[in-house]
Structure 1
Amino acid sequence: AREAGDGEVLRLTIDAKFHNDLYFAAIEPNDVVIVVSGLELAMDARTARRANGLKIDFVDGAAGPGFKLDNPNQDRPIRGIHPADVARARNEHKKLQLIDVRPAVEQAKARVEGARQLDPAYQAELDALPKDAKLVFLAHHSSGAKAAARLFYDRGFHNVWYVVGGIDAWATMDQNVRRY
């Protein structure tokens, strides 16, 4: 492991996508410098804003010892949810938006009750929701729903999901939805 040279401190960088790096470098003129447990840590102002609440630990992992960073400001990734879990949440009246991103011709073949087609009017409604609203995207299979979820994630929504297996998987648990 490398040690800090003269005039160097541990430097933290966190970019806009929350990729982070820790390395030894000199303090730069406009850096924010903090001392934690006797260790000087330097960062630029943008990193400092992104690091608010950051927890840094040193752990032994499969690849050897290293730093583990847990950043509460980092958005959660897009997650999959199984059709049965969506149905259960809806039966329990949990708030979620079930958004069907399939083309109208496919929606005419099979529909999930309560799912709404993503059209410009509905998109405007969704855009007006709080950024932590639960958005669940449905396509024929997972990939189309993941792509739609990614678009909303990139627009600032933090609680985005896709139906694992899409309407094809939904049809295996709901006899009212036909497979095509």
Structure 2
Amino acid sequence: MTAIETVIIETPDTAAAEAFYAAAFGLGDELGFRASEAPTSGFRGFTMSLIVSQPSTVDSLHSTALEAGATEIKPATKSFWGYGSALQAPDGTIWTIASSSKKDTGLATREIDDIVILLGVDDVAATKKFYVGKGLEVSKSFGSKYVEFATADKHIKLSLYGRKAAAKNAGVSPDGSGSHRIVIRGDAGTFTDPDGFVWEAA
């Protein structure tokens, strides 16, 4: 089963990015940083999601991210699927923070259950087929709408969504061009997928 070890965020200022993520979310080895001046504008075609157990954890992570310099896209609020928020890091990466629970069920924590890389792709079915060909196993699939892959390290997951749907979920326009400024590092090998997302061998 494929393991995703690190998500590398490309940014002009790696020191600032490292400091932001440590202060905002307390993330460590799950993220790496690489200097890049590759041009990019608008929606980069993906979001990063933090999945947590309850609303108070969403509120805590959202608050510290704003204090560290993030820009709020959607305030934390209840919805039919749970409770969540969206914001943009200073490096431009869009993050959502979500819990399937609408009520706290225990003491407040800052524990992150999963990190999900949500790729907004042009053709979900075609990209799903590509990744299956690279050895990834499908754990959930809703036709040509959404796909989630099983990973050996359950902490970092990969999913596919249509580009417009991914942007709508994050609360931003789907328009954008240039570099994704993200590299996925794992044991699936080194390649570039149909939508231009780059993988590197761990």
More strand by share: 2
Q: TM-score, normalized by length of structure 2?
A: 0.22
Rg: which structure is higher?
1
Higher relative contact order (CA 8 A, sep 6+): 2
More helix by share: 1
